[in-house]
Amino acid sequence: MAGMVSIPNVNYRQVVHPYNSHGQEKRRSLRYAETVHDPERLLEQKAQLRLRLNSGKLSNMPSGFPFSARHGYSGVTYDSYEFREELTGAAHRANSRHQFANITFENATSSRDGFIWQAHLPGAESYLRGGHSKPTAHVQVDLAVSRQESFWLSLHKDPLVILRALGISLELGCPITIQPASNAGVVYMVTHKDGRQEPYFILRT
C-alpha cells in the first residue's frame, strides 16, 4: 500500500500550478450574494475559525473525522452529521457569548456529488439562489478521488486534509472541489463567484 501523503499548510496567496482541466467534468458552482449586519464581528469569527481549522483544534469533532466512527462498529461510517463549534466573542461586544460555527458533512454519493463538508458562521445573511443558506466554507471531494490510494488513505486518517481545505475555502470565499489531477495526484479546484474554475494547487501522490 502506498505511504501516507503530507497535506501542506497552504500559503493562501500562492500562485497555482498550471493545470490542464480538459476532460474534467465541470462541477456545479455556488453563486451567492452576502449581506453582513456586523462586518467587523464576522471578520473576527472568520479569523478565529480559520485558525482552528488550520491547526486542527476543533473541540467537538466527531470521532473518525472527517467521517464518523460508530460505537461498536469497526472502521468509519459515511453517515451525514453536524456539530457546533463554540467561538470566543470579543469582550466589548454585546451578546458576545454563545457564538457558534456549524460544521456539516453530507454524503451526497447517491447524487454523484461525492462528499461535502461545510462551515456556517452566524452574523451574516448568506443565500444561494432560491433562498437556501450559503456556507462560509465549502469543500467537495469527487468520488473519483477514491482511486488515488495514497490520498484516499490520508483523507480517512488525517483530519487536517479536510480541515485545511475548509480553511482555504473560508479564506478565498469560494468553494473548493478536490478531484483527480490529469497526471496522477489530486487538484484543489476553486470555483469563483462568476462560476469560473481554476486550480489552486496540485498534490502529487
Is there a contact between 85 and 110 (Cβ–Cβ < 8 Å)? Answer: no
Query: pLDDT at position 184, please?
Result: 80
Residue 104: is it exposed, middle or buried by C-beta count within 10 angstroms (0-12/13-18/19+)? Answer: middle
| Digit-coded pLDDT (tens) for 172-194 | 999 999 999 988 889 999 999 89
Pick the more confident residue, 32 or 137: 137
Residue ranges of the domains in the chain? 32-87+100-203
Evaluate if residue 31 carries a pLDDT over 70: no
**3-state helix/strand/coil string of 54-68:** HHCCCCCCCCCCCCE
Evaluate if residue 132 carries a pLDDT over 80: no
Pick the more confident residue, 193 or 20: 193
Q: How confident is the model at residue 117 (pLDDT cuts 50, 70, 90)?
A: very high
Evaluate if residue 168 carries a pLDDT over 90: yes
Q: What is the CA radius of gyration of the chain?
A: 17
Instruction: State the average pLDDT over residues 110-129.
Output: 74
How many other β-carbons are positioned within 10 Å of the β-carbon of residue 164?
22
Beta-bridge partner residues of 84: 102
Q: With CA atoms as reference, report the closest residue to 136 among 98, 93, 172.
A: 172
Query: pLDDT at position 96, please?
Result: 54
CA dist list (Å): 171 to 49, 96, 103, 139: 10, 23, 16, 12
Evaluate if residue 200 carries a pLDDT over 90: yes
Q: How confident is the model at residue 123 (pLDDT cuts 50, 70, 90)?
A: low
Residue 112: CB partners within 8 Å, gap ≥ 6?
143
Q: pTM here?
A: 0.75
